[in-house]
Amino acid sequence: MADLLAIGTSGVLAHQTLLSTTSNNISNVSTEGYYRQSTQVYTNNINQGCGRTETTRVIDTYNQRELLRDNAQVGYYDTIKSSLSTIDTLLSDSATGLSSSITDLFASIQSANSNPTSVANRNELLGSCETFVNKVNTLSSNIEQEYLDTNQKIEETVATINQLLDGIYTMNQQIAKGAGQGDSSSYLQMMDERDRLISELSNYMDIKTVKQDSGATLVNLTSGQTLVLNDGCAQLAVSVSSLDDSEYGLKFTYGGQYTSLKTDVGGKLGGYFEACSNLKKVQSQLGKIALTLADSLNQQNKNGLTLENKVGGDIFTLPTQNVTSTSTTATMTMDFIPGKSSNITGNDYLFTVGAGNTYTLYEKIDGEFVEKETGNITGNNLTFEEYGFSISINGTLATNDKFLVQPTIDFGNTFDAIITHPEDLAFASVVRGSQNSQNQGNATIALNGVTNTDANSAFTIDAQDRISLNTDAPTKIVVDDNANYQVYDANNNLIGTAPQSTNGQNIMANLVDAGGNLVFADAATYPGYDFSISGVVKTGDSFSIELNTDGFADNSNGILMQDLEQAKLVQGQTNRTISESYSALVSDVGTDIKVATINYDAAVAKQEQTKTLNESVSGVNLDEEASNLVRFQQCYSASAKIISAAQTVFDSLLGAMG
């Protein structure tokens, strides 16, 4: 009878546990992070009946780890996609983007050229300049704000990650302490909560886990850095660049001093850092485009005459840019070299001071600073014409001082239109050519263009912006007996001869002396203008070059301004026009978003697939649990009847003995 009672009792207790487990599964069918529990009943190897029971969570370890990776991928691409989408809309929208403004600006130049003396047309052009500036200012400001907002999200994400790491470590400690109660409900709930925290952490960083015999789970970055160990957890912090306080980095500590950590940590945090890098590049490229257009129009306007017979001035400002540094004894500013905007790359530069008053200049290419040149620091001003800028040093430099030069990142915020009077637009060329009325041939002279009116040209500009030709400037062309083109200055001194083989084209550029050497090494610089003669020339034909005084109806310099629309001004792997460069910028941002979207969709599909697999193993199936509930109830009742039968038999035996 004792064996029968023991068998029945063990059956009742075992199925009571099974019923409890099944009930718990049904109750938590919608609980986030809950893993289905399963109770195993072991055979009683000593006596008959049920042996011990053990309740565990049903987990597919591979799927669980795969889901952590999937979460990180989804978080990473979703962050990049959402961070760039706002800027993409602003850049590509016709109301906020630059495409229409660039087109309108050159259309206004064309309209003004059709009637160069029309003040109304000139005013329309000034309005187009203002509109262009305002749109660039707004775009650059919005990009910068998005960058700062993303930095704020980095700070918030780091704070969230630290809370999760602390929570995971705390749960690990509690789980390790309760290791002896492995099948208790509270113990299993602690493991569920710990794994839920790990799953949430995987949205923010790409992590991997290592299970411990104690039940604890160690957490590492996939790159190897430890985040959670048995004796503590790491803490992350945002680091600020010593050269740029808007550029964030990442550092972490594990019970000691903070050390730097790479920012490609995956997940949302890695996505925010990547988005910041992209936003910074977009702002620099926008500034580069605006700078190139502004500088090019400035230079062309300075090569013409205004309605007041003055040489033209700048249309736009090219503001001095601040330079950040680690120096405590010196400061630095950067200026653009007028006319050299096509040399601007849009990249950042690092200027370092070495021993013996030397310097090294690095250019940031694909995220890394690459050494470009070294030299001696002489004076307080250094010119880097190859890169389109110069720097001014204030104070005393010290060895190991570093200066970060970012030529175009802030240009879009700071430049402006400065011409306010329509008369100041210089559509007429500074010089003009004419053929002698007594010429025997029918050839005519035409200006190729004025390319330079600075101090190193053939022109002199006084304090009132009045321009004059120097006495040694080319002012007359005469055809000799061999149909060569002899060029003379104002004092009738022979400067040089353009051979007949040139057919009168680009005479100044082809001018040679008696020895056959070029007279002007660079005619675009000196004299700063060139002419071509077309048609049939006869010996003795002459052509004059003079200032274009009162040539208000002339639009030849305005045409050159208009031609800038098709000029390949913007530097790149392939030089582009202003419009092409802006379209490429919009396209690059759109491509980044498209790639991020494709990868995001793929990552979500993979995540859903892994979730489905995980759910099929660890999720609660109500149909299965309901079936188990009925089965375990029947087994429980049957075990109870065994006890009842044993009791009846026992009572009958007692009665027979009495």
pLDDT tens digit string along 73-128? 999 999 999 999 999 999 999 889 999 999 999 999 999 999 999 999 999 999 99
> Tokens 């780890």 label which residue?
65
> Tokens 């109304």 label which residue?
120
pLDDT tens digit string along 182-223? 557 778 888 888 889 999 999 999 999 998 888 888 999 998
| Cross-strand pairs, 261 | 250
Express as a percent the part of the chain with pLDDT over 90: 69
- Which stretches does DSSP call E strand in 35-145? 37-43, 50-57
pLDDT tens digit string along 298-333? 999 999 999 999 999 999 999 999 999 999 999 999
Q: Residues 540-559: what's their mean pLDDT?
A: 93
The set of residues, in sequence order, having a beta carbon less than 8 Å from that of 148 and lying 6+ positions away, is 246
pLDDT tens digit string along 239-259? 998 898 899 999 999 878 899
DSSP one-letter code for 34? -
**Sheet containing 476-479, strands listed edge to edge, beginning at the edge strand earlier in sequence:** 431-435, 542-547, 476-479, 485-488, 494-498
Specify the amino acid at residue 293: L
482 — phi, psi (to 5°)? Answer: -100, 15
**Half-sphere exposure of residue 646: CA atoms within 13 angstroms, side-chain side:** 15
Q: Residues 285-292: what's their mean pLDDT?
A: 96
Supply the pLDDT for residue 179: 67
> Tokens 């500013």 label which residue?
333
Q: Residues 2-17: what's their mean pLDDT?
A: 71
The pTM of the whole model exceeds 0.75 = yes
Cβ neighbours, 10 Å, residue 77: 23
What gap in Å lies between CA 254 and CA 227, rounded to an integer? 8
Q: Residues 6-22: what's their mean pLDDT?
A: 72
Average pLDDT of the chain to the nearest whole number: 89
- Residue count of the chain: 658
